[in-house]
Amino acid sequence: MSRLSFLLLILLTFNAGPAQALDFPPGFVLTENYAWPVKGFNQITGTFGEYRTGHFHMGQDFSTGGRIGIPIIAVAKGQVTRVQRRWSSIGYAVFVQHEDGMTSRYGHLHKFAPKVVKQILKSKQARRFKDRVDFDIVLPEPLTVSKGELIAFSGDTGVGPPHLHFELYKDNIYYNPMHFGLGYTEAESVIFDSLRITPQTSRSFINGKNEPLDIPFYNVGNNKFELAESPTLFIQGKVGLQISIHQKSNANRLGILAMSMNFGEQILQGFQLSKILKNHSRKNVLLYDSSISRPDGNPFSYFLHTRDGNDLLGMYKPDREQGLIDSDTLKLNEPKEVTVKAKGQGSQEAIASFFLIRDGNDYKNIITKEWVYNVQFDRYTTFKSKDTKVELFFPVNAVYSKGYFEIAAKDEIKIKTNGLNQLSSVYEIGPDFRDFNLGYDLYVKVPKTQDINSADLYEVFPDGSVKKIKGSSFSSWGQFFKVRLRKTGLFVVLSDQTPPNMYLHESMTKSVYPREDFVLLLKAKDLGSGIMPEGFDILVDGIRGKAEYFPKDGRVEIFEPESLYLPGPHTVLASVRDYAGNWSSTVRYDYEIESPPAPIEEKPVVKETIPITVPKSETKTRKEKDREPKATKQKSPKAKKAISTSR
pLDDT in tens, 602-612: 666 666 555 55
Give the CATH number of the domain where residue 520 resides.
2.60.40.1220
Q: Is the dihedral of CA 635, 636, 642, 645 positive or negative?
A: positive
Among the three residues 151, 180, 209, which one is the final residue of a domain in this structure?
180
Give the CATH number of the domain where residue 128 resides.
2.70.70.10
In a domain, 100, yes or no: yes
**Overall average pLDDT of the 98-103 stretch:** 97
| Number of domains observed in the structure of the chain | 4
In a domain, 12, yes or no: no
- Percent of the chain past pLDDT 70, that is, above it, reads 89
Residue 527: pLDDT band with limits 50, 70, 90: confident
Half-sphere exposure of 451 (CA within 13 A, CB side): 16
In a domain, 554, yes or no: yes
pLDDT in tens, 540-558: 999 999 999 998 899 999 9
pLDDT in tens, 281-294: 999 999 999 999 99
pLDDT in tens, 446-491: 998 878 989 999 999 988 889 999 999 999 988 999 999 999 999 9
Q: Is the same domain home to 198 and 322?
A: yes
Give the CATH number of the domain where residue 441 resides.
2.60.220.30
pLDDT at 234: 96
In whole angstroms, what is the distance from residue 194 CA to residue 206 CA? 16
Contact 199, 235 (CB under 8 A): no
In a domain, 36, yes or no: no
Q: How far is CA 561 from the centre of its chain?
A: 32
78 CB neighbour count, 10 Å cutoff: 25
pLDDT at 320: 86
**Overall average pLDDT of the 356-377 stretch:** 92
Provide the b/e sequence for 150-179 (b: ≥16 CB within 10 Å). Answer: bbbbbbbbbbbebbbbbbbbbeebbbbbbb
Q: Is the same domain home to 194 and 325?
A: yes
Q: Is the same domain home to 168 and 278?
A: no
In whole angstroms, what is the distance from residue 352 CA to residue 342 CA? 9
In a domain, 563, yes or no: yes
Give the CATH number of the domain where residue 310 resides.
2.70.50
Q: Is the same domain home to 229 and 353?
A: yes
In a domain, 458, yes or no: yes
Q: Kindly report the backbone phi and psi dihedral angles of residue 7, in degrees, each rounded to the nearest multiple of 5, phi listed first.
A: -65, -35
Q: Is the same domain home to 157 and 205?
A: no
Among the three residues 116, 150, 180, which one is the final residue of a domain in this structure?
180
In a domain, 373, yes or no: no
Res. 614: pLDDT tops 70: no
Q: Is the same domain home to 219 and 266?
A: yes
586 CB neighbour count, 10 Å cutoff: 13
Contact 19, 316 (CB under 8 A): yes
Q: Is the same domain home to 322 and 388?
A: no
Compute the mean pLDDT over every residue in the chain, rounded to the nearest whole number.
Answer: 89
The Cα angle at residue 428 between residues 423 and 429, in degrees rounded to 5? 120
**Overall average pLDDT of the 3-14 stretch:** 42
Res. 200: pLDDT tops 50: yes
pLDDT at 82: 98
Structural domain including 133 reads: 44-180
Res. 340: pLDDT tops 90: yes
Which helix H or strand E contains 614, and what residues bound it? none
Q: Is the same domain home to 238 and 333?
A: yes
Q: Is the same domain home to 483 and 531?
A: no
Q: Is the same domain home to 197 and 344?
A: yes
Res. 272: pLDDT tops 70: yes
pLDDT in tens, 204-251: 999 999 999 999 999 999 999 999 988 999 999 999 999 999 999 999
Q: Is the same domain home to 221 and 352?
A: yes
Among the three residues 473, 496, 519, which one is the final residue of a domain in this structure?
496
In a domain, 35, yes or no: no
Res. 637: pLDDT tops 50: no
Half-sphere exposure of 406 (CA within 13 A, CB side): 7
Q: Is the same domain home to 198 and 175?
A: no
